[in-house]
Structure 1
Amino acid sequence: MIDVEDEGALRIITLDRPDKANALTREMLAALADTVERAAADPAVKVVVLTGRGKVFSAGADLDEARAGLATDGVWERLSGAIADSPILTIAALNGTAAGGALGMVLACDLRIAVPGAKIFYPVMKLGFLPQPSDPGRLAALVGPARAKLILMGGARIEAPEALAIGLVDRLAEDPVAEARALAADAMGADRSHVEAIKEMLS
């Protein structure tokens, strides 16, 4: 339920469950973490792009699995940690709305690009779940504590133009994967050690 395109210096990882709005199962989350960890360990890879198939990036956790324990499973933190700790450039290319726990992998990326019609929300208060432990801090680092509370506690749905204005996403593009490729060009042309060094300086 994920698709991986290996283009040498670039790996494109696509959530591939469009009939279920790319809702995330434990199997998918583990496969995503495995794929990111392999990319990070491969000296040829300099950039990872995360995207989705269809009109939605991800609706978050598969609700049946969430009720059965996925909501508190450590696999979420394993995935977001693998992305955040990766020594390469990571870009979320949001082909549509990102909701709930799916936001964790988006927040962990270095850059975020979204289609103009995307929405971002994290309805943990409404659903009775806590956000994954690292998500609130990453969210607050991007948008500030008050707006993080607006999203996590007020259940706000952030439209793409507002997300751009507040720093939740970095670019809007009709084709976010194409925009991600453009932004990745310098990193793909550089030595991986240079990519690692700049990322370390910014961490």
Structure 2
Amino acid sequence: MIDLSKDDGLWTVTINRPDKANSLTKDMLTELAEIAEQATEAKALILTGTGKVFSAGADLDEARAGLATDPVWERLSGAVAALPCMTIAALNGTLAGGAFGMVLACDIRLSVPNAKFFYPVMKLGFLPQPSDPARMARLIGPARTKLILMGGQKIDASEARDFGLVDRLVDGAVAEAAQGICVDTLAADAQIAKGIKALCQ
């Protein structure tokens, strides 16, 4: 349910469970974390999904059994954030719940225009993953972060772009658009990209 392709320094990771809105099980999250931890050799990494939803967050059955607050989410987002290469979330559709973590940890976020964004922790009755509020606040500010996390507001892709949560809206194949952004990075010495990324922290 997690597909990985490697093409001359470009790693593309695809969540492939469209029949369940790409909801994430513990095994899937562990696999994603392991891929991110091993991607230190990649020049660029793209995270995307199949179907009309990037990810609905935790698998509901496993969430009820404790997955919603499992440390594997933090392991995954931390591994993505630590990568020295360019990381792009190519959001093929709606982003919800704990799936925000790995997306917020990416360098760049692209989205199709019809995506929705929501993180319903208030309604579900638990805290978000520890690093998610701080990463979100750095992107969109504390008030808008509270609007989403405390106010439970669902925002559309246009508003997400206006907020700064999404960097660019893409009509059509969003993963291909992400590949286009990676061209110069893939052609350059990996140390240059690593150095630029460090200077932007």
TM-score w.r.t. length of structure 2: 0.98
Matches for 1:111-126 after TM superposition, within 5 Å: 111-126=108-123
Matches for 1:35-184 after TM superposition, within 5 Å: 35-40=35-40, 42=41, 45-174=42-171, 175-184=173-182
Alpha-carbon shift at residue 27 of structure 1 (Å) = 0.3
Count of residues in correspondence between the two structures: 200
Alpha-carbon shift at residue 166 of structure 1 (Å) = 1.0
Amino acid at match of 1:20: K
Alpha-carbon shift at residue 69 of structure 1 (Å) = 1.0
Alpha-carbon shift at residue 129 of structure 1 (Å) = 1.6
2:16 is equivalent to residue 6 of structure 1: no
Q: Please state whether the residue corresponding to 2:182 is helix, strand or coil.
A: helix
Distance in 2 (alpha carbons) for counterparts of 1:60 and 1:51: 14
- How far does the alpha carbon of each residue in 1:73-128 deviate from its partner, in whole angstroms, 9 at most, with x for none? 11000000000010010000000000000011110000000000001110000011
- How far does the alpha carbon of each residue in 1:112-169 deviate from its partner, in whole angstroms, 9 at most, with x for none? 0000000111000001121000000000000000000000000111100111111000
- How far does the alpha carbon of each residue in 1:9-66 deviate from its partner, in whole angstroms, 9 at most, with x for none? 10000001110000000100000011111112x2xx2000000011100000011111
2:19 is equivalent to residue 19 of structure 1: yes
Amino acid at match of 2:69: T
Alpha-carbon shift at residue 182 of structure 1 (Å) = 1.1
Distance in 2 (alpha carbons) for counterparts of 1:153 and 1:127: 11
Distance in 2 (alpha carbons) for counterparts of 1:186 and 1:36: 21
Distance in 2 (alpha carbons) for counterparts of 1:48 and 1:59: 21
Alpha-carbon shift at residue 68 of structure 1 (Å) = 0.6
Distance in 1 (alpha carbons) for counterparts of 2:166 and 2:29: 22
Tell me, which stretches of 5 or more residues in structure 1 are unaligned? Answer: none
- Calculate the aligned-residue CA RMSD, in Å: 0.7
Distance in 2 (alpha carbons) for counterparts of 1:130 and 1:8: 39
Distance in 1 (alpha carbons) for counterparts of 2:51 and 2:126: 27
Partner residue, 2:197: 199
Q: Please state whether the residue corresponding to 2:24 is helix, strand or coil.
A: coil
Tell me, which stretches of 5 or more residues in structure 2 are unaligned? Answer: none
